[in-house]
A = this chain, B = another copy of it.
């Protein structure tokens, strides 16, 4: 069993805000992250998959293929976008780093499986010093 990881980047706007809470509650829970005029981040995304090395190629799967999939399924849909308004796969979901990681997992899991590998971890940096990891359960 080998684990391989590809790192990708994207920039996006978001706002931490729950429509089910009052403005006061939103401000109390989310602080300046609830700014109605948005703020944004350079997100850094690490996708780790695992499986057997193919003896013919020495690869689990080609990292270029993994990069292409992440770009098509995730980066093209979130880069330079607004997570609250424009990202179809997170519609109605509060775009915390935790939730973004879990919904990226859902988008990638099946495609990775079809390639003969298993999605192992989604790691998402929101800032240089804050990151989340999701292992699917």
Contacts and interface: CB of A to CB of B under 8 A. Distances in A.
B40 A40 contact: yes
A22 interface: no
B99 A53 contact: yes
A85 interface: yes
A30 B65 CA distance: 11
Per DSSP, chain A at the interface is: mixed
A69 interface: no
A6 B82 CA distance: 25
Interface in A2-27: 2-9, 11-14, 16, 18, 20-21
Nearest to A60: B98
Contact of A38 (B38, B63, B101, B130): B38
